A and B are shown apart, each in its own frame.
Chain A
Amino acid sequence: MTRKKVKLAYITNDSARKATFKKRKKGLMKKVSELSTLCGIDACAILYSPYDSQPEVWPSPLGVQRVLAHFKKMPEMEQSKKMVNQESFLRQRIAKGNEQLKKQRKDNREKEITQVMYQSLTGKGLQNLNIVDLNDLGWMIDQNLKDIHKRIESLNKEAQSQAAAAAAAAAGQLIKTGGKVQEEKPAFDSMDAIQRQQWFVDLVNPNEQMGFAGDDMMLPFGDNNHNALWPNGFFP
């Protein structure tokens, strides 16, 4: 079997054309048959050639009649909805190809700009970028900042609830053992869960300010030295 790329044009050489026709006709019928078997569906093929007044058919003249009858019974709109000829079929494939091309280009652009962003973080200059690149880069930075912000928030929330849980366990012990503290118990039980968490954390860190939103995020156990390591200029 040749693997040469065939030019999609009418084969002018008569014998070559006839040979190609024989091979491809056989292949086509095989493909219809396979499709029908693999997917358990009805199908038929009618093929006219310059070599024979009678058409070649699949599966059989009777089989074709059966499929055609089924086809004709369908409403006109259903028949023509997915009907194509060479032109329309090619247009469909071109449209699909363009869609895939657009998506691939977009993905590539994202990868590229992300690379630029990472390299710029190492101090690489922005001089070689034009206005479009800069705009895309700015957008990418914003996207990343959004995701980082979300992630930081969720990590802090986790740390919060873990701290509250730990404090709850510790305080629970306290309540059980200390006589004085036992009076607090009914009051504690009547609080709702969030209040309880807050209360425990405040118990452990009486001077800390609890901010859950925005840039004033702090870890509950006074790990504020964090923020002193690098400039705080844009925290409002």
Chain B
Amino acid sequence: MATVRKSKGRQKVEMTKMTKESNLQVTFSKRRSGLFKKASELCTLCGAETAIIVFSPGKKVYSFGHPCVESILDRFLMRNPLPNSGSLQLFEAHRTTNVRKLNVQLTQVVNQLEGEKKRGEALTQMWKACKPQCWWAAPIEELSLEQLELLKVSLEDLRRKVARQADELMIEGKNPPAFFPGNSVGTIVPYAEWMAGFDPYSHKYNFGYGGPFL
């Protein structure tokens, strides 16, 4: 089965100035970030200190420094001999702890992102599998007028069912009234009114729902 490649993958790059302006910008952005990452790792792993300065194609200047750009530049230009005071060491130790915590946080986020991407791919696969049997799952542009009219009717019917089901749930008290934003506790808001002002993507996602849809 052929998979669509999202990017070309690892390829050997010729070491000469890039010709395409758009590629150059992207390359700069990616490589600058990667460079700073490598520098940061070197400092953490080996206790090194560094400053890196790069000018962007757009004449902006990016710099990375550990412990900080200024102190390294001062040291290099011999304005400050190597500092080694006790308080500075304490300060550095504190910063190192922060960095460690941040690294843990970053790893978490990266892992979560990876997980969600995989989930997205799985969902797309499911959709593709169901498409041949479900004509209504095709993009709207591919549907005939008759199909569109039929689909419209079906969706309007489904919408009513959804509203009914939601009302039932609210009456059954399965969801506490405190859930509704901006409403006083205990008030039950008519579903249509509530739904009118609700932005589904501004709340925290409920991933705990059971059922066969996962």
Contacts and interface: CB of A to CB of B under 8 A. Distances in A.
Interface residues of B, number: 112
Given A41-B28, A49-B49, 6 more contacts: A20-B45, A46-B72, A50-B48, A115-B127, A139-B200, A151-B143
B89 interface: no
B205 interface: yes
Interface in A40-59: 40-50, 55
27 contacts: A17-B46, A18-B46, A21-B45, A28-B35, A28-B39, A31-B38, A32-B52, A43-B55, A45-B39, A50-B47, A67-B53, A84-B36, A85-B64, A90-B105, A100-B113, A101-B109, A101-B113, A108-B123, A109-B201, A119-B213, A127-B165, A128-B209, A128-B211, A131-B179, A147-B140, A151-B141, A152-B148
Interface in A137-164: 137-139, 141-142, 144-145, 147-149, 151-152, 155-156
Contact of A118 (B43, B65, B136, B174): B136
Q: How large is the interface on A (under 10, 10 to 19, 20 to 34, 35 or more residues)?
A: 35 or more
Top 5 nearest A-B pairs (CB, nearest first) are A128-B211, A97-B109, A90-B102, A21-B46, A43-B54
A33 B102 CA distance: 29
Interface string A12-27: 0000011011001101
Given A39-B31, A85-B65, A141-B158, A134 B165 contact: yes
A89 B206 CA distance: 32
A140 B149 CA distance: 18
Given A8-B44, A104-B117, A83 B16 contact: no
Contact of B213 (A41, A46, A128, A226): A128
B162 A149 contact: no
B148 A148 contact: yes
A46 B57 CA distance: 21
Nearest to B70: A83
B2 interface: no
Given A67-B53, A148-B152, A226-B149, A126 B113 contact: no
Contacts of B130: 115, 118
Contacts of A31: 31, 34-35, 38
B84 to A, nearest CB: 12
Interface string A97-111: 110110011111101
Contacts of B100: 8-9
Contacts of A97: 106, 109-110, 113
Contact of B57 (A40, A45, A108, A130): A40
Contacts of A20: 45-46
A121 B156 contact: no
- Of A10, A20, A135, chain B has the most CB atoms within 10 Å of the CB of A135
Contact of A43 (B53, B73, B200): B53
B44 A86 contact: yes
Interface in A172-206: none
A135 B155 contact: no
B113 A48 contact: no
B46 A98 contact: no
B159 A142 contact: yes
Interface string B116-149: 1101100110110010001011001101011011
Contact of B123 (A48, A112, A151): A112
B158 A117 contact: yes
Interface string B187-213: 000000001001011010110011111
Interface in B13-29: 13, 15-18, 24, 27-28
Nearest to B99: A86
A48 B154 CA distance: 70
B160 to A, nearest CB: 9
B62 A82 contact: yes
A49 B130 CA distance: 59
Contacts of B143: 151
